[in-house]
Structure 1
Amino acid sequence: MTSVAVLVELLRTDTAGGHVKCWERFAESAARLPEAVHGGPDGPYGPGLDLTVYFLGERERVETLSPRVRFVMLRPVLSTAALMSADGAEDVCDLAPHHPRLAALLPRHDVWHLTHSFAYAATAVRLARRAARKGAPAPRLVGSVHTDVPLLASVYARYLADRWLPGTHPAVDGFLAERAETWLRRRRDRMLDSCARVLVPTPAGQAELAPVLGPHRVSLLRRGIDHERFRPDNTARARLAGEYGVPTDRPLVLFAGRLDATKGVPLLAESVRGVRQRGRAVHLVMAGSGVEEGEVRRLLGPDVTLLGSLPQDRLARVYAGCDIFAFPSRTETCGNVVAEAMASGLAVVLPEGARTAQWLAAPGQDGIVVRRDDPRDWSDALCALVDRPRLLATVRRRAATTARQTHPSWDRVLTEDLLPVWLPRATSGRRNAVRVA
């Protein structure tokens, strides 16, 4: 039995972001694997899989999904909660250089899978290098890229400078942002260089990292979609109106994610205001929280409904009750919310050239791309759909078809993209399943 430890150094909550949700879905898929994959000499992946996904938690605890799959939550050593720019808006991570409790548990696993570049990853890399220097049996390190942390850090450096150093010159804010991005990108690349294989969500990600790590070490890890949870539902509009008071007499434009500049929220708010100023009756629905919440409310007043952060099941009902999903973000490595919206039958509107556009099979037909990050261009794109109900219906129908026919399930991605990396035929497990007291 090969024991795999996936290190997700983010706080696991019901409303956590896509990085956390991604690994919850992969773990659920692993728990559904047939016994032939989990173990046995005749299984397709040799000795089989025992999986532990480590998250951060407010207290240490274990959540068992199956006899061979579990979540383990460990308390952070140096939490980022005090640095958050808005309550509950960003994922809490751990900035400590070493996590002693994780260090005690990691030697029980054969494969250490890094998904970030902070406390968990730093601890794993340090232990692996120490083992190599001593000539001891070393774990196999694997890495995956889920979030463009350096780019996000540059944006949040500006937010934090405004919060802690009000009145500083914009050039100072820009300098701090640039230094933060540069330092974190170098740190990320050093961590990934320790890995035998690095998984990225898009071909564009492959092209970015291949010159740094070598093309033979970089491969795809797609994102899946839960087609049972995210699907069209003709009854969802009435429930959305009943639960949240959302108007039913006009097209509904949805956004889901953090309400900040990293997701393009200021651009979207200005764009919807532009649509309203042109006399179109549209309403913006926003699921998420963040520092731009007050500004969005100021700009749009009664033309926006702010739902706050929602768990997946409630968010699925919100998707299905809306018409258009507008997502101006360029910081996504993948953008699972786009796949969820398409599976729910929404017409998605995305920036041209953004990695989220990978979900479209025929841009312009199963989703709309906007060439420039300008409110007028985005208002034009939204008006084109609002003014032509038949076009909107066609794009929605084609989006759902693309999702159903081309977007893989989490089970398929686990089997095709992850298991061959974790469990090559030559791998032989040598440790027992983890036990946390």
Structure 2
Amino acid sequence: MSSVAVLVELVRSGTAGGHVKCWERFAESAARLPGTAPHGAGGPGLDLTVYFLGDRERAETLAPHVRLVTLEPVLSTAALTSADGAEDATDLTPYHPGLAALLPRHDVWHLTHSFGYAATAVRLARRTRTARRPRIVGSVHTDVPALAAVYARYLARRRMPAGLLADRAARWAESGMRHRRDRLLRCCEQVLVPPAARAELARTLGADRLRPLRRGIDHDRFRPDPAARARLARAYGVPADRPLLLFAGRLDASKGVPLLAESVRLLRERGRRAHLVTAGAGAETDAVRRCLGPDVTLLGPLPQERLAHVYAGCDLFVFPSRTETAGNVVAEAMASGLAVVLPEGATTTRWLAAPGRDGVVVPRDDPRDWADALCALIDRPRRLDAVRRHAAATARRTHPSWDRVLAEDLLPVWLGPPGRGGTPRPM
């Protein structure tokens, strides 16, 4: 059997973001595989361990051949997060001794981020001189350089009000993070990437080293539910007598939240009775509350089970973000029967099969354009209903399950022949 270690240097919790949820779903899919059979003898021959960060060391067994392990960080970034703690905390250590002690038992080391776990794996591989050298592969899930720029700007403005200094900090953070990410990925023999990242990384790594990586959707969890609207009103006091707009994700500039808030304010200024519901937290939480007052319900971070009910109870999913590499929340909203409103040219529009029919794209990042797009749906209930039906149909017909993505995208890389090897370099 091939033993695979997936390294996710983010904190695992019930309200963790899409990167953590993605690997939880892949692990659940792997647990459904006949993993104890040797490869080529009726089973995939996979033994999988996914490593996360946590407040203590623990292991959760999903199947005899699949487990989720959390390790304590050595140099956590938790102290750098804002008061609401919406930013993802990671581990900045150049070497994690606990992980280093566990990695040699695995054949394949899969890097998914650019911090402590990845740095430890590359350092350890560079030192390995035995015949049983590990295979190192990687995947890209988030535009980490873009997020680093946003967070650096927020941090700089807390300490240095001058906008020029904040902009310089953002540019420095983005450039440094991109250099670090690329240096680690060059050590991988194959790198799984979403379509949005392929062109940039092909220039850095070479197209022959890249493999596709899609996101899946749990169609049993995310689906239309006519009773969800009433439950949403009872549970959270959300008004049930007007169109409900939903946003799910971090409430910060990386997701376009200032644009969203101003768009909804204009919508209300034009006399439309609409209410915004947000699931998540972030640096813009207070600004959204001040901007919209009673016209917004801020639910904070929610676990997947509760989030699924919130999706199904709303009418539109409004997501102005341009920093997504996949945007799984868009797929979840469509599967739940919401009309999605997205920026033209954003990677999230790849979830649409027929833009204009199963979702709406807005050509410019201007609050007036977004307010126009929302008015066009709210003022025409029959069109809104048609878009919602087409969105759900597209999700059922074209959005793959997590089982399918595991089988078609990940297993061939983990269990197939090695690709062109990267060269582990000193960190």
- Pick the TM interval, shorter chain: over 0.9
Map residues 34-433 of structure 1 onto 2, 5 A cutoff: 34-35=34-35, 38-39=37-38, 41-43=40-42, 45=44, 48-131=45-128, 134=129, 136-165=131-160, 167=161, 169-202=162-195, 204-424=196-416
Change (3 A) 1:269 1:426: closer
Deviations along 1:133-162, whole A, 9 cap, x unmatched? x35431111100011111001111110011
1:164 aligned partner, one-letter code? R
User: Could you tell me how far apart the structure 2 residues matched to 1:40 and 1:416 are?
Assistant: 16
Shift, 1:181, TM fit: 0.2
Q: What is the aligned length?
A: 419
Identity within the alignment, %: 73
User: Could you tell me how far apart the structure 2 residues matched to 1:317 and 1:215 are?
Assistant: 41
Deviations along 1:46-82, whole A, 9 cap, x unmatched? xx10000000010000100000000010000011110
Q: Tell me what 2:3 maps to.
A: 3
Shift, 1:44, TM fit: 6.0
User: Could you tell me how far apart the structure 1 residues matched to 2:170 and 2:320 are?
Assistant: 21
2:135 aligned partner, one-letter code? R
Q: SS at the partner of 1:241?
A: helix
Shift, 1:43, TM fit: 3.4
User: Could you tell me how far apart the structure 2 residues matched to 1:34 and 1:139 are?
Assistant: 24
User: Could you tell me how far apart the structure 1 residues matched to 2:347 and 2:417 are?
Assistant: 33
Q: SS at the partner of 1:308?
A: coil
Shift, 1:19, TM fit: 0.1
| Contact 2:157-2:163 within 8 A present in 1 as well | no
* CA-based RMSD: 1.3
1:142 aligned partner, one-letter code? V
User: Could you tell me how far apart the structure 1 residues matched to 2:265 and 2:346 are?
Assistant: 23
Q: SS at the partner of 2:48?
A: strand
User: Could you tell me how far apart the structure 2 residues matched to 1:91 and 1:424 are?
Assistant: 33
Shift, 1:379, TM fit: 0.3
User: Could you tell me how far apart the structure 2 residues matched to 1:286 and 1:348 are?
Assistant: 14
User: Could you tell me how far apart the structure 1 residues matched to 2:352 and 2:166 are?
Assistant: 36
Which runs of 5 or more structure 2 residues have no equivalent in the other structure? Answer: 420-427
User: Could you tell me how far apart the structure 2 residues matched to 1:60 and 1:426 are?
Assistant: 32
1:19 aligned partner, one-letter code? H
1:12 aligned partner, one-letter code? R
User: Could you tell me how far apart the structure 1 residues matched to 2:130 and 2:71 are?
Assistant: 29
Shift, 1:88, TM fit: 2.7
Which runs of 5 or more structure 1 residues have no equivalent in the other structure? Answer: 428-437
Q: Tell me what 1:432 maps to.
A: none
User: Could you tell me how far apart the structure 2 residues matched to 1:270 and 1:359 are?
Assistant: 25
User: Could you tell me how far apart the structure 2 residues matched to 1:151 and 1:64 are?
Assistant: 35
Deviations along 1:335-383, whole A, 9 cap, x unmatched? 0000000000000000011111110011111000011111001000100
Q: Tell me what 2:425 maps to.
A: none
2:26 aligned partner, one-letter code? F
Deviations along 1:12-52, whole A, 9 cap, x unmatched? 0000000000000000000001357x53552365xx10000
Q: SS at the partner of 1:286?
A: strand
| Contact 2:4-2:106 within 8 A present in 1 as well | yes
User: Could you tell me how far apart the structure 2 residues matched to 1:10 and 1:235 are?
Assistant: 35
User: Could you tell me how far apart the structure 2 residues matched to 1:40 and 1:174 are?
Assistant: 52
Q: Tell me what 1:434 maps to.
A: none
| Contact 2:52-2:68 within 8 A present in 1 as well | yes
Kindly report structure 1 stretches of 4+ aligned residues shifted beyond 6 Å. none
